[in-house]
Amino acid sequence: MWCAAAWLGDRGVVEGVRVVPAGDGTVASLEAGVPAEAGDTVLPGVVFPAAANAHSHAFHRVLRGRTHNGAPGSFWTWRESMYAAARQLTPELYEELATAVFAEMVVTGWSSVAEFHYVHHRPDGSPYGAGPAAAGSGTAESADGTDGPHAMELALARAAVRAGIRLTLLDTCYLGAGFGAPPGPDQRRFTDPSAGDWLRRFASLRKTVADRFPVSAVTVGAAVHSVRAVPPGALAEIARALPPEVPVHIHLSEQPAENEACLAATGLTPTGLLASTGLLTSRLSAAHATHLTAADIDLLGGAGATVVMCPTTEADLADGIGPAGDLQRAGARIALGTDQHAVIDPWIEMRALEHGERLATGGRPQFTPAQLLTAGTAGGLRAQGRPPAGLEPGAVCDVMAVDPRSVRTVGSDPEQLMYSATAQDVTDVVIGGVPAAHRGRHLGLGDPAELLVAVLGKMDGAGSGASRSDSHTNLGAAAP
């Protein structure tokens, strides 16, 4: 594989880089300042490490461009539209939807994703692989694997393998609707009866995935939905019981109302509560962390935790601008995620991280180009518990090539493409040393837009009998 130019870490962008991948998908060797040889795969433009998506909810892609009807709303009204989308999911439909979303990620430059997954059970809360549906088939698992234990989780795993993206499946503990509140009707399929029940299901899922998928393709991590969805005693139980090598993720202080409820119920901020229960360690990744106190920032930084910023989602949901710069200076690691997929574009997420800091501080720049790239690549891999990727011997050979001569990028310093490039400029994506995408087309699945058209059409009236226009209103309208 010969790169016209490539980002080589501290050396910056270097011309004429020839890479030899090993059989395991890592970089066996590389030379800089050399010409291509006969038979080389040639990557024009500038080659960077592939992006690592540290926070995703695949089914939220349904809502893109459909929640802005002009009525006043907030994160909490947007959530009602999300519940409407979740009600429609079956294992078969979710596999098709996730395949399309993961393919979109691949062609835009992401080679791995941490999927924060909480749609575990049937809509009535009964587990897959048990009850009348399974009994009617005469087996605990249907022939296609869509009605057995972990049906939804395995659907996501199959989707990732089909799309060729590396998946860290974050199986999420979700026990209630709020402090002392039982789950509501729309949350029943998210929840387990107790932390102990979730831990047993989590252990079973880890074994099942390990038995069926290579670790380079699919791994299982843990997540706690939020401090409002899991009581303090359960948080402590989870902290004690999870194996030390398992990455742990949580939504943290995304909304001021969460902080207020936590203070009223426990006398602590959400970050303080995590620290008191033993969950705040270097293996923790906190998504959003938008509304933090100075003490919260010191706690997250002192623990060496990762904070996953999702700038386009936080803007779309009017969450606010999190203190990314202060967190990094305090010792926290910064990663990036696409969350609800208002945008799936690593370059825009990098730039939005920097722009948010500029808006909040009135100064420019706040993050160097190298720091932005690290947030979009190595930061996400750390959050997933995956090894480094890029162009250095021994690293995983996951890279993306960017056109420096498009109408958006022409004239840019190659080492400052973070400030001008978008996913439209990603010409090639290589995963494990093997070409995966070229100029917006997935080399195995074709145009992701066509996949999305097919599956979104199936969701327009699924389970409701609504017309196309009625279902658009159902999924897109924010409640007043």
d(CA 288, CA 255): 9
In a domain, 36, yes or no: no
Sign, CA torsion 236/237/243/249: negative
In a domain, 402, yes or no: no
d(CA 404, CA 426): 10
Residue 26's CB is within 10 A of a number of other CB atoms, namely: 20
Strand intervals (E) in 195-238? 218-224
d(CA 391, CA 28): 10
C-alpha pair distances (Å), 202 with each of 117, 156, 226, 402: 12, 15, 17, 39
d(CA 378, CA 383): 9
DSSP H/E element including 335: strand 333-336
Looking at residue 460, its pLDDT comes to 61
Cβ-contact 251, 195 below 8 angstroms: no
Looking at residue 79, its pLDDT comes to 76
Looking at residue 142, its pLDDT comes to 53
* Number of domains comprising the chain: 1
Q: Splitting the chain (480 residues) into consecutive groups of 10 residues, what average pLDDT does each group show?
A: 97 97 97 97 97 97 84 72 88 97 98 98 92 43 68 98 98 96 92 98 98 98 98 98 97 96 98 98 98 98 98 95 98 98 97 97 94 98 97 97 98 98 98 98 98 90 31 29
Cβ-contact 168, 385 below 8 angstroms: yes
In a domain, 35, yes or no: no
In a domain, 59, yes or no: yes
Strand intervals (E) in 66-209? 110-117, 166-173
* Alpha helices (H) along 55-90: 75-87
Looking at residue 471, its pLDDT comes to 32
In a domain, 415, yes or no: no
Interacting residues of 80 by C-beta distance below 8 A, sequence separation 6+ = 478, 479
In a domain, 39, yes or no: no
Residue span of the structural domain in which 67 resides: 50-388+440-464
Burial of 298 per CB tally in 10 Å (0-12, 13-18, 19+): middle
What is the DSSP pairing of strand 426-431 with strand 110-117? Answer: unpaired
Q: Choose among 409, 468, 459, 436: nearest CA to 94.
A: 459
Q: Where residue 368 sits, what CATH number does that domain have?
A: 3.20.20.140
R_g (Cα) of the chain, nearest Å: 22
Looking at residue 137, its pLDDT comes to 35
C-alpha pair distances (Å), 189 with each of 128, 221, 271, 465: 10, 20, 27, 21
Cis, peptide link before residue 365, omega less than 30° from 0: yes
In a domain, 319, yes or no: yes
Interacting residues of 352 by C-beta distance below 8 A, sequence separation 6+ = 311, 312, 315
DSSP H/E element including 107: helix 91-108
d(CA 448, CA 409): 24
In a domain, 477, yes or no: no
